[in-house]
């Protein structure tokens, strides 16, 4: 049986975090967040009162707790069909653009950021790409910057890679075999999959809390990628965030979300579902 946190204690936790930091978890999906709080309590072998006391007194402790509250699951080319769609149907349409601005919102440890960079390089568009990748969790951003992942738990990355590149006999698209070594250094002894340096230097990773609303970096984007992030938010917070994405997309730009997510109202009807992406309507 898992440990649980009482409703009252949970509300007190959210309130205390809001009071002592700039983070507001009030509009998170409650069941998942409650479970994360319970996990923090049991991992730290502490009770709610001690936790709240530490949060209100110790900035560093608070930051560490924030990191522990977010779900960081991701993969290289997670849901390969999405990436295959981007490679075949979206990137060719952006080929003539002088710059391509991309925002990965909630990028976690960066696997999908590098997935995109690999596709951009294959399409010969890497030079013109400007990439910003943000997350609330400072710990995973550190991993993202290093571009180093465990090999043993992540062999699935390579299967995804093959699927997206058509390395396994999918000759219909006329693509030649793309070797891992073009982008990845795989060392089974050290148990690492490392992203090649020429990709590492490309994205700007930045700590940013989607809940805070306005973005602290300039610009409009051609592509916003935010997959399996807003599922941790309630519907009204989702609405605000999708509106923000809408405002920061160029007309004709693309939003890419998780396979089991949909765009919340009111901006939902200002996007046109295009394959596995949502395209911002040109005029409205």
Partner 1 sequence: MYRAIIIGGSAGSFQVVARILSTLDKDFPVPVLLVLHRLKHVRSGFVEALSIKSSIPVKEPVDKDYIRPGFTWLAPSNYHLYVESGNRFALSTEPQVNHSRPSVDLSFFSAAKEYRRNLAGIILSGANKDGAAGLKMVGDMGGTTIVQDPSECQVPVMPLESMKLTKVHYVYNTEQIVSFFKKIRENGQNRQ
- Tokens 């309630």 belong to 234
2 lines the binding site for partner 1 (CB under 8 A): yes
Provide the pairing of β-strand 204-207 with 221-226: unpaired
Rounded CA separation 252/281 (Å): 6
168 lines the binding site for partner 1 (CB under 8 A): no
x/- binding map, residues 217-256, to partner 1, per CB under 8 A?
-----------x-xxx-xx--x------------------
Residue 71 vs 123, nearer CB to partner 1: 71
DSSP code string of 168-210: TT-GGG-PPP--GGGTEEEETTTTEEEE-HHHHTS-EEEE--G
Q: Which stretch binds partner 1 (CB under 8 A): 28-36, 41-49, 127-135, 267-275?
A: 28-36
Output the smallest distance, CB 260 to partner 1, in A.
Answer: 5
Q: CA 154, 156, 157: angle at the middle one, nearest 5? A: 75
Q: What Cα–Cα distance (Å) separates residue 278 from each residue in 28, 67, 163, 219? A: 24, 30, 23, 19
Residue 224 pairs with which residues in a beta bridge?
103, 255
Sheet holding 192-195, edge to edge: 148-150, 192-195, 184-187
Instruction: Please list every residue from 29 through 58 that binds partner 1, using CB under 8 A.
Output: 29-32, 35-36
**Considering CB under 8 A, how many residues would be counted as binding partner 1?**
23
Residue 88 vs 262, nearer CB to partner 1: 262
Output the smallest distance, CB 204 to partner 1, in A.
Answer: 25
Q: Which stretch binds partner 1 (CB under 8 A): 42-50, 57-65, 140-148, 259-267?
A: 259-267
Among 63, 122, 243, 261, interactor with partner 1 by CB under 8 A: 261
The residues, any chain, with a CB within 8 Å of residue 240's CB and separated by 6 or more, are 213
Output the smallest distance, CB 7 to partner 1, in A.
Answer: 9
8 lines the binding site for partner 1 (CB under 8 A): no
264 lines the binding site for partner 1 (CB under 8 A): yes
Output the smallest distance, CB 2 to partner 1, in A.
Answer: 7
Residue 43 vs 127, nearer CB to partner 1: 43
What's the per-residue H, E or C state across 206-234? EECCHHHCCCCCCCCEEEEEECCCHHHEC
Helix (H, G, I), strand (E, B) or coil at 81: helix
Residues at the interface with partner 1 (CB under 8 A)? 1-2, 29-32, 35-36, 71, 73, 228, 230-232, 234-235, 238, 258-262, 264
């Amino acid at each position: 049986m898992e440990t649980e946190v009482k409703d009252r204690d949970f509300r007190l936790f959210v309130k205390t975090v809001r009071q002592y930091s700039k983070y507001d978890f009030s509009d998170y999906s409650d069941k998942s967040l409650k479970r994360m709080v319970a996990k923090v309590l049991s991992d730290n072998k502490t009770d709610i009162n001690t936790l709240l006391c530490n949060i209100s007194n110790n900035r560093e402790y608070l930051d560490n707790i924030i990191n522990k509250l977010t779900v960081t699951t991701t993969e290289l080319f997670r849901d390969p069909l999405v990436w295959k769609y981007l490679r075949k149907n979206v990137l060719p349409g952006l080929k003539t653009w002088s710059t391509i601005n991309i925002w990965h919102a909630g990028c976690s440890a960066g696997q999908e950021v590098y997935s995109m960079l690999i596709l951009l390089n294959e399409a010969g568009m890497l030079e013109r790409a400007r990439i910003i990748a943000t997350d609330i969790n400072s710990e995973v951003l550190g991993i993202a910057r290093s571009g180093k992942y465990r090999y043993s738990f992540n062999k699935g990355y390579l299967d995804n890679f093959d699927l997206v590149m058509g390395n396994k006999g999918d000759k219909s698209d006329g693509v030649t075999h793309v070797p891992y070594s073009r982008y990845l250094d795989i060392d089974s002894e050290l148990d690492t999959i490392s992203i090649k340096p020429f990709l590492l230097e490309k994205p700007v990773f930045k700590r940013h809390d989607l809940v805070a609303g306005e973005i602290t970096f300039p610009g409009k984007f051609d592509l916003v990628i935010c997959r399996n992030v807003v599922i941790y938010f309630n519907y009204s917070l989702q609405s605000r965030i999708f509106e923000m994405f809408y405002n920061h997309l160029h007309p004709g730009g693309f939003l890419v979300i998780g396979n089991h997510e949909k765009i919340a109202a009111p901006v939902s009807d200002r996007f046109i579902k295009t394959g596995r992406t949502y395209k911002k309507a040109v005029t409205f």
